[in-house]
């Protein structure tokens, strides 16, 4: 996963104007986007499993109602990681066949080392 490419995509959201989604959405504040990029810097570009490195596919990076979403899709599951406007939580969603969903969130008010480990664990779980 190319972290710099994801951050470039997030920078493009600076161009979005009021009502960018046709439902009255406000433009993204630059300070919010910068915070998102700090969090993105802590995503693992790959994971280690059974002594081997597994690359993580590039996610779609999309603006959402509550923040910025990273989305992955494969033939079996859909996965989302959302960093919300409130700058306090990272939400996640994994949808299995038959629309069975697992979702939740974790706080990002903890120290950066904990965030880094939580993100690693979460990405590992999402892509498996």
Around 66, how many Cα atoms within 13 Å sit in the side-chain half-sphere?
15
Phi, psi of 62 (to 5 degrees): -135, 145
Cβ–Cβ < 8 Å for 115, 42? yes
Phi, psi of 82 (to 5 degrees): -120, 130
**Which residues constitute the domain of residue 32?**
3-127
Q: Which two tokens stand for residue 82?
A: 């959302």
Q: Which two tokens stand for residue 34?
A: 């910068």
Predicted structure pTM score: 0.76
Q: Which two tokens stand for residue 25?
A: 């959405």
The predicted-structure confidence for 33-91, as pLDDT tens digits, reads as follows 888 888 888 777 777 766 777 777 888 999 987 688 888 887 887 888 887 766 677 77
pLDDT value at 112 more than 70: no
Domain count, the chain: 1
Question: What value does the mean pLDDT take over residues 99-106?
Answer: 82
């Amino acid at each position: 996963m190319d972290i710099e490419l994801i951050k470039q995509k997030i920078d493009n959201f600076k161009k979005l104007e009021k009502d960018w989604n046709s439902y009255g959405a406000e433009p993204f504040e630059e300070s919010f986007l910068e915070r998102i990029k700090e969090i993105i810097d802590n995503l693992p570009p790959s994971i280690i499993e059974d002594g081997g490195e597994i690359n993580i596919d590039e996610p779609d990076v999309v603006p959402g109602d509550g923040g910025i979403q990273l989305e992955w899709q494969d033939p079996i599951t859909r996965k989302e990681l959302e960093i919300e406007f409130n700058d306090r939580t990272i939400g996640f969603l994994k949808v299995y066949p038959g629309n069975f969903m697992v979702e939740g969130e974790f706080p990002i008010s903890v120290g950066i080392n904990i965030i880094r480990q939580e993100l690693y664990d979460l990405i590992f779980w999402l892509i498996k």
